[in-house]
Structure 1
Amino acid sequence: MAITDIRAFAHLTDADIDALAREFDAIRRDVENTRGVRDARYIHNVIRLQRALELGGRVALFGSRRRPFWLLGTGMLSLAKIIENMELGHNVMHGQWDWMNDPEVHSTNWEWDQTGPSEHWKRAHNYAHHTYTNIVGMDEDVGFGILRMTRDEAWRPINLVQPVANVVLALGFEWGIALHDLAAKKQLEGVPRKQWNSEPNKEFAAKAARQVLKDLVFFPALTGRAWRSTLTANLTANAVRNVWAYAVIFCGHFPDGAEKFTVEQFESETRAQWYLRQLLGSANISGGRVVDFLTGNLSYQIEHHLFPDLPSNRYPEIAARVRALCAKYDLPYTTGSLGRQYLLALRTIHKLALPDRLLRATSDDAPETSSERKFQRSAVAGVAAPAVDPLTGRRGGLLTALRAHAAHRISARRAKRRAPQSNPAAHTIG
């Protein structure tokens, strides 16, 4: 199963975990105490850039019956929607800029350019996901109720079609998120599923109608004779935004190394262990400043989960300190290119579409899900009492244990290959 004892899995003592939490608290204080003019200038510049791109794209689409203008307008509009979705909507609604007391950039006022109401998303994401991150059975973002992303979830025949469902989810990601958040809102308020005239349903219908009318009726009609090509441009821009947001989210939550946790772990979890769960349950994307910006700095998913309400433009400097702490406590810092992280997540999607009897690894020792039991089963010492290097006096942590575990598995496979193979014919003689 997934992790049931984060202390044992991380190869840290309670004192270590408390010390690590104090260092994370120090990072938070330092950033909060230095927020100021340069941060405000950053977010306002992003807003101006996003609006200029959207305006330029809308103007270019007046000539969208000519292919160059269609490409220009669609490209600018796609980029504007990505920036609005990732760096503005997502981060503003996390409260990252509430400290400015600017009503334009405040989590209580922002309504983003996608199907679901902001209030629905904030309840499902800010509270549920960031509180219960990667806890199987509590965090509905583990597969979004559509995909099986861990062997801790029982296989069902419907999972056979999840490679197809994954493509549908990517193309219509804003709708998938909106329906996911609507269900969470109705569950919170105790609204029966079949009560169609409920307040959450009305809120969803109103917002979805506005979005559909804006992108598929108003703006196409505004361009007159070019309405058909403008309509295809708007649909394309929405699809590009959806696929990009989907890819960023899946790369940050589902590659190898982004661990899953059990309800048992949560029930006894301390605040310090919450920090550790965020660290071990997330993955970063390496790619440079352009990728950082286009992901809304969610390329620093680890830092975002540790500090979801700190300004996103500060994540790069926070990341340097988090990596140093990982080295200090011998913890992994999971990161990789966008292509690598997505391919790992895609492999999990396709692999877990199959019944468990067709899979080799267990939920204790699979690339996408593991637990503290993996170390016991491979006879790697140090789960309860981590080994201390006699030369340096440094106690080995999770990173050292993972390397030892991998070496153990490689050695076991090599030994198995070298072992003499039995001759079936020999058993029939005599």
Structure 2
Amino acid sequence: MAITQVAVYAHLSAADIEALGRELDALRLEIEERRGTRDANYIRRTIAFQRALDASARVLIAFGRGRLGWLLGTAALATAKSIENMEIGHNVCHGQWDWMNDPEIHSSTWEWDMAGVSAQWRYSHNFRHHVYTNVIGVDDDIGFGVIRMSRDQQWRPRLLLQPVQNLLLAATFEWGIALHGLYSEQDRAATPAERKAQTRLLVGKIIRQAGKDYVLFPALSGRRWRRTLAADAAANALRNLWAYVVIFCGHFPDGAEKFTPAAVEDETKAEWYLRQMLGSANFDAGPVLGFLSGHLSHQIEHHLFPDLPSNRYPEIARRVRELCDKYDLPYTTGPLPRQYLLTLRTINKLALPDSFLTATADDAPETASERKFAGDPEAAPSTVRRGLRTALRDRARRDAPVRPA
């Protein structure tokens, strides 16, 4: 089962959790007080760079010569689309730049360059996912309705095809996100008319998006329309694959925990902070990789402060690591290939019925609960806080096979 008693799993007292919450509140306030011209200039430069890169890529695709020109133009276009999708669209729609009061860079007005409707995504993502992160049955981002990512999700025969479904989701990720946002909006719609209106909204966006990529720009290329059409299709596919990898590596490697609905009943702000830290994962990235991922290489920091400017996440991360050390909590991160391979292992493993799996539902790499520590000896009295990180290390040592002398 997923985690129900978060404090018990984290090996922290109520006083510890509230103290952690106060320190994170202070960190948020500090960043809010320091954001200003530097941050505004950052997002405006990013938007200008992305648009220049997009325009240059399209010129190279339409008028460049040979296969090399097409490859370079397509790669540049895929990069421009990824930047718009992740560092700009995703973060603007989170309200990270609303404090600027710029009507062109505001969560209520930004419409991103992909199939989904920004307004529909904001509800499914900003509310359903970020408020109820990794809560089974509430957070629809756990597998996006097509992939089983926890043993708490019932196994069905169709899941034997899960490895293939995963590949299809990766290649068509923007369409999955679009439908995901629509279904979330329809769930909260009060009347059939409202549901139909949301469907029309998505259909209209798809027509405009497909028309731009697959009709307008190829038509502007004249006799070279096939070259442009192929480049647009390839760039969208590459953008989809990259967004899929980044999102999955932030939520499904080992150490990104799942929770039951009971875990969020009467949840305090400090407890919410703790759940975000336990339910998210980072991957190691330098400035370039971090930028291309929308700074979602810092998924832990993003889930703690989703509406703070993304360019601040690297400095926030240093402080969050210090708090993890102070409260003896794990800070889940690792190289990008490793984080994805752990995720892929979970996807392939959970395609099988539970009877084929060896670990228990309370003590598996992808699904754990507070019962994981049942029977563990109590820690000896100490002036050093014994939190989850120490408990996990002690358990790994105890469970390690004994090598013959």
* TM-score (normalizing by structure 2): 0.98
Residue of structure 2 aligned with 1:252, choices 239, 250, 253: 250
Aligned to 1:306: 304
1:78 Cα deviation from its structure 2 partner = 0.6
Instruction: For 1:139, give the aligned amino acid.
Output: D
Aligned to 1:79: 79
Gaps of 5+ in 2: none
1:264-279 paired onto structure 2 within 5 Å: 264-279=262-277
In 1, Cα distance between equivalents of 2:252 and 2:121: 20
Aligned to 2:384: 394
Aligned to 2:153: 153
Instruction: Verify the 8 A CA contact 1:94 1:309 in the aligned structure 2.
Output: yes
Q: Deviations over 1:135-176 (max 9, x none)?
A: 001100000000000001111001100100000000000000
Instruction: For 1:28, give the aligned amino acid.
Output: R
Moved more, 261-270 or 129-138: 261-270
Aligned to 1:127: 127
Instruction: Verify the 8 A CA contact 1:116 1:178 in the aligned structure 2.
Output: yes
Aligned to 1:406: 396
Residue of structure 1 aligned with 2:338, choices 337, 340, 343: 340
1:65 Cα deviation from its structure 2 partner = 6.1
In 2, Cα distance between equivalents of 1:88 and 1:179: 21
Instruction: For 1:341, give the aligned amino acid.
Output: Q
Aligned to 1:200: 198
Moved more, 345-354 or 65-74: 65-74
Q: 1:44 to 1:190 in 2, by over 3 A?
A: same
1:395 Cα deviation from its structure 2 partner = 2.5
Q: 1:299 to 1:229 in 2, by over 3 A?
A: same
Q: 1:64 to 1:225 in 2, by over 3 A?
A: farther
Instruction: Verify the 8 A CA contact 1:219 1:230 in the aligned structure 2.
Output: yes
Larger Rg: 1
1:388 Cα deviation from its structure 2 partner = 3.2
In 2, Cα distance between equivalents of 1:44 and 1:364: 47
1:66 Cα deviation from its structure 2 partner = 2.1
Instruction: Verify the 8 A CA contact 2:248 2:343 in the aligned structure 1.
Output: yes
* TM-score (normalizing by structure 1): 0.92
In 1, Cα distance between equivalents of 2:110 and 2:51: 15
Aligned to 1:424: none
Aligned to 2:58: 58
1:190 Cα deviation from its structure 2 partner = 3.7
Aligned to 2:370: 372
Aligned to 1:422: none
1:269 Cα deviation from its structure 2 partner = 1.8
1:122 Cα deviation from its structure 2 partner = 0.3
1:287 Cα deviation from its structure 2 partner = 2.0
1:363 Cα deviation from its structure 2 partner = 1.4
Aligned to 2:88: 88
In 1, Cα distance between equivalents of 2:65 and 2:213: 17
Aligned-pair identity in percent equals: 60
1:117-266 paired onto structure 2 within 5 Å: 117-191=117-191, 198-266=196-264
In 2, Cα distance between equivalents of 1:159 and 1:362: 19
In 1, Cα distance between equivalents of 2:248 and 2:64: 33
Q: Deviations over 1:254-291 (max 9, x none)?
A: 00000000011111322210000000000001021111
User: What secondary structure does 2:283 align onto?
Assistant: strand
Instruction: Verify the 8 A CA contact 1:28 1:307 in the aligned structure 2.
Output: yes
Instruction: Verify the 8 A CA contact 2:87 2:295 in the aligned structure 1.
Output: yes
1:82 Cα deviation from its structure 2 partner = 0.5
Gaps of 5+ in 1: 419-430
In 1, Cα distance between equivalents of 2:28 and 2:176: 33
Q: Deviations over 1:325-369 (max 9, x none)?
A: 000000000001110100000000000000000000111000011
Instruction: Verify the 8 A CA contact 1:256 1:344 in the aligned structure 2.
Output: yes
Instruction: Verify the 8 A CA contact 2:138 2:261 in the aligned structure 1.
Output: yes
Instruction: For 1:302, give the aligned amino acid.
Output: I
In 1, Cα distance between equivalents of 2:323 and 2:54: 41
In 2, Cα distance between equivalents of 1:387 and 1:242: 50
In 1, Cα distance between equivalents of 2:304 and 2:35: 17
Instruction: Verify the 8 A CA contact 1:65 1:226 in the aligned structure 2.
Output: no
Instruction: For 1:159, give the aligned amino acid.
Output: L
User: What secondary structure does 2:334 align onto?
Assistant: strand
Instruction: For 1:68, give the aligned amino acid.
Output: L
Aligned to 1:105: 105
In 2, Cα distance between equivalents of 1:314 and 1:322: 12
Q: 1:87 to 1:301 in 2, by over 3 A?
A: same
Instruction: For 2:32, give the aligned amino acid.
Output: E
Cα RMSD between the aligned structures? 1.4
1:99 Cα deviation from its structure 2 partner = 0.4
Instruction: Verify the 8 A CA contact 2:189 2:195 in the aligned structure 1.
Output: no
User: What secondary structure does 2:42 align onto?
Assistant: helix
Instruction: Verify the 8 A CA contact 2:136 2:142 in the aligned structure 1.
Output: yes
Give the aligned length. Answer: 405
Instruction: Verify the 8 A CA contact 1:151 1:356 in the aligned structure 2.
Output: yes
